[in-house]
């Protein structure tokens, strides 16, 4: 809870004093929470935007969908076996994932607020395909600072392994091990890269689908 409180704390606002809205300052346009297309110079993330990122990444439709899919697959495989089959087992697996996701996102947003790390993904729309792929990889491991430059995403480096090792305290014995936590950490970064790819290319796919539907036969 302390980390979550930091998201909108006065310290966070002081660290991002340059993020105050100005009438003549171009703003970053959020295509949807967590995905940004720059329209003019970079303006640091505000406390309100940081909180919105936390909420969307934790209980937004994409996160909830992935949670249902993940818990469903794990229930079908009966992994971990301690949770059992059926809806009860599904509920336990879903709850465990949600607790880990919320803890990790709170750590990411809260710690990053201390030094102004921006957790959002910035698209490379309009650039060549290769550049967009590099952008996906870059924002998996890097993040913007208040002056707009890219730097290692230290809050993410702490939050991703941190929440996976911390969750060993309430996970079933068969998955509450250091090796399992390391696997989940790797999956976490791979999942981040996959989510970035979706954010980068889904608008293009959506436009193609809409265009085809609007074409006369």
**Domain region containing 108:** 2-214
Confidence (pLDDT) at 202: 87
A 10 A CB-CB count for 152 gives: 11
Give the chain's domain count: 1
CA distance 77 to 64: 20
pLDDT for residue 15: 41
pTM for the full model?
A: 0.80
User: Which has the higher per-residue pLDDT, 216 or 134?
Assistant: 134
Minimum mean pLDDT range among 14-28, 107-121, 151-165? 14-28
pLDDT digits (tens, 9 = 90+) for 45-99: 999 999 999 999 999 888 888 889 999 999 999 999 999 999 999 999 999 999 9
pLDDT digits (tens, 9 = 90+) for 135-190: 999 999 999 999 999 999 999 999 999 999 999 999 999 999 999 999 999 999 99
Average pLDDT value for the chain:
85
Provide the 8-state DSSP code for 83.
G
pLDDT of residue 28: 56
End-to-end, the C-alpha distance of the chain in Å comes to: 56
Nearest to 194 by CA among 140, 149, 147: 140
Separation between Cα atoms, residue 72 and residue 62, nearest integer Å: 15
Give me the helix-helix angle, 86-115 and 47-59, nearest 10°: 160
Q: Rounded distance, CA 33 to CA 185, Å? A: 23
pLDDT at 38: 78
């Amino acid at each position: 809870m302390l980390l979550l409180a930091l998201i909108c704390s006065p310290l966070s606002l002081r660290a991002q004093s340059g993020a105050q809205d100005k009438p003549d300052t171009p703003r970053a346009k959020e295509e949807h929470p967590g995905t940004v297309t720059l329209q003019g110079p970079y303006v640091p993330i505000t406390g309100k935007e940081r909180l919105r990122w936390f909420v969307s990444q934790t209980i937004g439709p994409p996160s909830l969908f992935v949670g249902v899919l993940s818990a469903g697959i794990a229930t079908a495989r009966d992994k971990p076996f301690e949770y059992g089959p059926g809806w009860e087992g599904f509920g336990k697996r879903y709850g465990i994932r949600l607790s880990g996701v919320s803890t990790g996102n709170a750590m990411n947003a809260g710690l990053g607020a201390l030094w102004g790390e921006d957790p959002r993904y910035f698209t490379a729309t309009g650039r060549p395909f290769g550049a967009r792929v590099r952008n996906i990889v870059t924002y998996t491991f890097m993040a913007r600072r208040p002056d707009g430059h890219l730097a290692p995403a230290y809050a993410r480096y702490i939050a991703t392994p941190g929440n996976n090792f911390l969750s060993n305290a309430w996970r079933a014995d068969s998955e509450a091990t250091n090796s399992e936590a390391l696997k989940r950490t790797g999956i976490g970064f791979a999942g981040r890269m996959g989510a970035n790819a979706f954010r980068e290319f889904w608008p293009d796919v959506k436009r193609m689908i809409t265009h085809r539907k609007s074409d006369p036969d």
